[in-house]
Amino acid sequence: MDLFMKCAIEEAELSRSEGGIPIGSVLVRGGRILGKGHNRRVQQDDPVLHAEIDCIRNAGRIGSYREMALYSTLMPCYLCAGAVVQFGIGKVVAGESESFAGAREFLEMHGVEVIDLDLTVCKDMLQSFIEERPEIWCEDIGEEWPPV
């Protein structure tokens, strides 16, 4: 595992320690982290403050995003994939997509290189949260709780 995914995992752990959903993200260009973020939906009572959105916000206005890579502990959803496509981020590296398939096909259809590392540490972290807080997880991915 590389340094950038380790940093994304640290962000996910930070979210968990704050009572939030353990998903983290970092934005990288030329071997340098320009932004970090984690899912803050619960902490900030903000339905769109996913890890990738938080990360891009924290990077600030940086001009062109073309040569950037977005690392995320989970495959981005359509909301976050839309931001990747909108800003022209060229590469997404996901820690896993087993817990949530996300929008891989959408990203690839728009020319984004997608790499799924299928990391056990990312799966275990999210699965443990889903078991403990299924209602928060379902809210995050737009599913009804309890299941109908």
Q: Which residues are known to be catalytic?
A: 52
Concatenating the DSSP letter of every residue in 84-105 gives: HHHHT--EEEES-SSS--TTHH
**How many Å apart are CA 134 and CA 39, to the nearest integer?**
16
Residue type at 95 in one-letter notation: G
What is the identity of the amino acid at 62? I
CA distance 32 to 16: 25
Helix axes 120-132, 3-17, angle to 10 degrees: 10
Residues in a beta bridge with 29: 32, 68
First CA to last CA distance, the chain: 39
